[in-house]
Amino acid sequence: MIHRTVSRLAPLSQAERETIRQLPRTVAAHDAHLAGLPCMTSVEQGGAAADAPLAFPFTVAAWNLERCLFPVESAEMLAEAGAQVALLSEMDHGMARSGQAHTTAQLAGHLGMAYAYGVEFVELGLGSETEREFCVADSNNLGWHGNGLMAATALSQPFLLRLPGRRFWFLQGGDQPRLGERMAIGAKVRTTAGLAVMVSTHLESNANAAERSAQMVSLIDALEAAFPGLPILIGGDLNTGNHIGGDWRAETLFDLARARGFGVHGGPEEQMTTRPSLITRWPERAMKLDWFLSRGLEIGRSRVLPSTSKLGKPLSDHDLLLVDIEGFSRS
């Protein structure tokens, strides 16, 4: 678990990214190079929030923003939903397809929130064919793609944890070659009942149920070791059902999480959390990928809101998942 924080992640030059492109396509070469990159071994902490604890009840959002092409409209949707904590995935920073913007910092600025951001992947290209249609330049300024956590209160002890995987995107990335592995980013937040741990994660899409279960067990093990006794909320795109026929019920990670004392919350069981978007143009695609896992917290309702702007424009290929936190559990 990485706890090193910086106010600005150290940039990677085009020459450094070319070095990554020329690396042997092996796990050993990948891991050795990643370990030496400050941008991959630090958490960026920024933004500003009121120095006051969150009062119950409060709402937490989990949202895969699919590169975050529309930060202003996405911030408006989070504000209208009343989210005081947001667990975000697929957040670009210095990517041509999203205007080279630091999308997490932009969202936090619009909402007056503190944020923590970590790089999941160094993108070595411009993205998929449809993503290239949105590019404002023929190269990325930074090439970062990651996860973020935002809150309407200060974040303490932020961390980044890389999850076990096969380095698929480095070894077999096709038109999306990347250095990196799936990860979680989190921090402690202060509530009127005490500290709680909020965690944004993104499990692997190109994996099977056993591999995603191993990622979840690794995350829970690390959280228990680092934050013993504290309430925990994990939220994000768990990619449940991806590459196993689209059936989230076939995943084993839910039972493993329940055995560790976690409750599972994903809105109405029959309501899927994906939709066609400007990038993902698959009208038949409907999957239930996004979830919250909670322990030590009293959970109210969980619900899914369509991630479309007021004019009907899709902001992501994932809808917005919300949960209400009513307090700490007594058990």
For the chain, 331 residues long, give each residue's pLDDT as a single digit of tens.
999 999 999 999 999 999 999 999 999 999 999 999 999 999 999 999 988 999 999 999 999 999 999 999 999 999 999 999 999 999 999 999 999 999 999 999 999 999 999 999 999 998 888 999 999 999 999 999 999 999 999 999 999 999 999 999 999 888 789 999 999 999 999 999 999 999 999 999 999 999 999 999 999 999 999 999 999 999 999 999 987 777 899 999 999 999 999 999 999 999 999 999 999 987 677 899 999 999 999 999 999 999 999 889 999 999 999 999 999 997 6
Domain boundaries, the chain: 5-328
Q: Which amino acid is at 68?
A: C
Positive/negative CA dihedral, 85, 87, 93, 97:
negative
Residue 33 has, within 13 A of its CA and on its CB side, a CA count of 24
Q: What's the CA gap between 309 and 136, in Å, rounded? A: 22
The architecture of the domain spanning 5-328 is 4-Layer Sandwich (3.60)
Whole-model pTM: value is 0.96
Q: Can you tell me whether residue 108 is helix, strand or coil?
A: helix
Are the beta carbons of 131 and 175 closer than 8 angstroms? no
Q: What's the CA gap between 238 and 293, in Å, rounded? A: 10
Q: What's the CA gap between 131 and 39, in Å, rounded? A: 24
Q: Can you tell me whether residue 211 is helix, strand or coil?
A: helix
Instruction: Compute, in degrees rounded to 10, the torsion defined by CA atoms 213, 231, 306, 104.
Output: -90
Neighbour tally for 327: CB within 10 Å: 16
